[in-house]
Amino acid sequence: MSGSAPSGADGMSVASAFSGMTGVEPVVFKAACPDCRTGLELSASALRLVVGATHRTTFYSFTCPQCRTAVRRPAGERIVELLTGGGVRALRLHATGRGA
């Protein structure tokens, strides 16, 4: 069983999900534009992931190449792992240190 990481686990624990992956193959993420309903294949560089302190502030976004709509969707823990494991840059938001 894969225990659920506390939160903000760094490394790429998702790597096992791509068991067939050898070397540095580019990963393509499939998504559909909610606006024009075009099925899209997005490379890691086309996606942006924002990881906030809570689920509500954790989302991924991309710009639809068809209609130029900026799409933003909530990202659950699984999606975060999938995206980061696939090379999507994650922007981590955390409250600026209190204390230290």
Residues near Zn ion (CB under 5 A) are 33, 35-36, 64, 66-67, 69
Residue 55 or 68: the one with the smaller Cβ distance to Zn ion is 68
Please, what's the largest Cα pairwise distance for the chain?
48
- Least Cβ distance, residue 35 to Zn ion (angstroms): 4
* C-beta closer to Zn ion: residue 62 or 80: 62
Minimum distance, C-beta of residue 67 to Zn ion, in the bound complex (Å): 3
End-to-end CA distance of the chain, in Å? 37
Residue 45 to residue 43: CA distance in whole angstroms: 5
Enter the DSSP assignment of 36: T
Is the CB of 60 or the CB of 84 nearer to Zn ion?
60
CB atoms within 10 A of CB 60: 23
State the minimum distance, in angstroms, from the CB of residue 41 to Zn ion.
Answer: 13
